[in-house]
Amino acid sequence: MNQGSLWGEPIHTYRDLPDPRDPNAPSGARTELVLFEDYWRKIILKHIAEDREPWREVFLADERRALIKWAEGGPLDQEESARFEKCLARLGEEIRRALARPLVLLSIRKYSGRKPIVSWSIVLPCGALVCVHSISCPPGDQESNVLKTCYIPWRAAVKPSEERWQQVARFLIWVYGEKRDRRIYPPEPSTMVVRYTPSGVSISDRNIRFVTLEQWGFSLGTPGNPWSGRLPDWEKEIAPKEQRKLRQLRKRRKSQTPCQAAGDPNSAGEPGERGAFPL
């Protein structure tokens, strides 16, 4: 059995990407991600086609129509095929920017009844969350980094576009960070996070690591490296009107504790809400 028979044929391979597993990331080793047609179809129909996720701000209307037409099995003409390829390229650029920062959470993930795998949770600049599984597949048990899903969590979807990635990052910090003394610290080697799908399947994460702690806002110069309650700005040009909004937002957040800024469930909803976790 080969990879193609497991998940359809590869629809695209994103090559020469920084490997977040390398201790020197984003320098050091390079890697690639493979997107299979079955997973891409599921991403389109379950997420991109749904208006509750603001993909209309990522892809143009005619590009989304081309994606949906392909996912539903319709033939694409030359113009539609060009739009389809543009969407794949745009997703690749978002992934490349996220890995170049990098804004990645790594863990050893175990689904009940399955073997453990290395899981990547990648926060994209557009506010989407990408989940990648490093899987050994026959023939030859060669490892592939498979792009499993990509979606905009609901708690980020309701935010203005420039704030979405920060909302996703804060929630991951809240879920996977160690909370004590009203502060959040990087997870210990022994930390394990367990949750359940709606169907009752357990998912456990261990060996959890925020790649490049400083990019997540952890204070490296403070004992224990606690989270500062802030995220470094993503390097991009922001319109003057948006800059004013961000300054006002930062002023309002100064009075928050790091736990509140990350998404304390007492004020921002309990972990386990729909779309909150990378599966």
For the stretch 208-255, pLDDT in tens is: 999 999 999 999 888 899 999 889 888 653 333 444 444 454 444 444
Mean pLDDT of 173-196: 92
Spatial CA neighbour of 99 closest among 173, 16, 162: 16
With 60 as the cut, is the pLDDT of residue 24 above it? yes
Q: Are strands 30-36 and 192-196 parallel, antiparallel or unpaired?
A: unpaired
10: tokens are: 């590869």
For residue 14, how far is the Cα from the chain centroid? Answer: 16
pLDDT tens digit sequence for 33-89? 999 999 999 999 999 999 999 999 999 999 999 999 999 999 999 999 999 999 999
Please state, in angstroms and rounded to a whole number, the distance separating the CA atoms of residues 216 and 102: 9
pLDDT at 244: 44
With 50 as the cut, is the pLDDT of residue 264 above it? no
Return the domain boundaries, the chain. 3-268
Cα dist from 145 to 7, 180, 203, 210, whole Å: 13, 34, 19, 18
pLDDT tens digit sequence for 128-179? 999 999 987 655 567 899 999 999 999 899 888 889 999 999 999 999 999 9
Reported pTM: 0.83
